[in-house]
Amino acid sequence: MKSLAALALAASVVALPAEPKGQTISVPIRYNRNAVRPSASDALATAANKYAGAAGGLWSNGDGSGTVITKPTNSVDRAYITEVEIGTPAQKLFLDFDTGSSDLWVYTNDTKAGIANGVTLYQPGDSSTAQRLSGETWKIYYGDGTSANGVVYSDVVSIGGLAVQNQAVESVISADSFGMSGLLGLAYDVGNTVKPDQQKTWFSNIKDSLKAPVFTVRLRHQADGSFDFGYINSSLYTGDIVYAPAFTDKLGHRLFAVDGYSVGGGSVVQTGFNATADTGTSLLIVSNDVAKDYWSQVSGSSSQDDGNGGLIFFYPCASLQNLPDFTLSVNGNTVTVPGSFNTYQRGTSGSCEGGIVGGGAGGMAILGDVFLKAIFTVFDDGNNQVGFALGQ
């Protein structure tokens, strides 16, 4: 392992793909059957922390002075993880691929004792291609006032056989224990937290080597799925892909406009809001009014205030197979989540936690895993758009 001065960084350390153009890869997403799932209330609190710094976020609980990304519940394993190789020789780690953030951070032997128990660490000292980027640091602020921080290395990062040389790898020094080796952000570069020199994501660095600057996500309920890079696999969806122009905020989220929604076979409610599809969020989060409208059509349902202005919902599990569909109106078309996907988890005494929850009075909608298990999702940076189709 070598060390580079910050001045040398700008002049000589440029993350470059080591691959020829025209590449495509399909990377398995492993469903972690040993994952301990948090309650819907805890999952909603995680999302609140993540979006506290975003303009039009779920609700206001921060001063907006820092960058806020995923803070998984302590000691809760992530349900979906993907293999990544870092360094030379390759060190295999399973990371959470997060379309809602822009940092690649991992636990390493720099991490303070007691934080990363039971997870595989990245060992930069064992990699001949690792370089410490002197003067470069990162720090993530969370909506609850805590933070994570560390130093930055440059190393080879390979996913599905496609390698980026000199990829920024952020080493955790201080943070909570998140029950996984780290996280790989796939949002826009503007959300990256490294200072003084903001770094690019792995996808941003590799996309010029791909057949097309696009990636797709296919999550599955309690089963393995895939991230596909460079192409769109038509066998993973049915019908046409509905596209919408993408734009962003200061945290790098790929946002798109929603024109309205409907529940079951009801008429469209014309109420516009922005949304983002986020693999780092578990729930389908909309405004309180939209969530209440949905669950008002489920007999026996009830709501509970989460303590931060949001609402979570419960309903009799006997109705699990009869939940209404939830449809978004997007760019003159519709995207429908079948009712069978709108459960978060079974509770006790015959009660289930709903997967559609309220994030407060307004702000953006966060289309997390509840949405993504039903909907094949396309992130098309070449055409600056996002796309959705019913998964198969």
Would you call 104 helix, strand, or coil by DSSP?
Answer: strand
Contact 329, 244 (CB under 8 A): no
The pair of structure tokens assigned to 290 is 């939209």
Neighbours of 121 (CB within 10 A): 18
Neighbours of 337 (CB within 10 A): 24
Active-site residue 98, yes or no? yes
Catalytic residue among 103, 278, 325, 381: 278
Active-site residue 259, yes or no? no
Contact 184, 191 (CB under 8 A): no
Angle subtended at Cα 136 by Cα 67 and Cα 199, rounded to the nearest 5 degrees: 60
Rg (CA), the chain: 20
Q: Which helix (H) or strand (E) is 303 found in, with range?
A: strand 302-305
Beta-bridged to residue 223, according to DSSP, are 220
Please tell me the distance from the alpha carbon of residue 182 to that of residue 174, in angstroms, as a whole number: 13
Residue 90 makes CB contacts below 8 A (sequence gap 6+) with: 156, 158
From the number of C-beta atoms within 10 Å of its C-beta (0-12, 13-18, 19+), residue 134 rates as: middle
Contact 136, 197 (CB under 8 A): yes
Catalytic residue among 77, 96, 98, 381: 98
Strands 80-86 and 214-220: unpaired
Catalytic residues: 98, 278
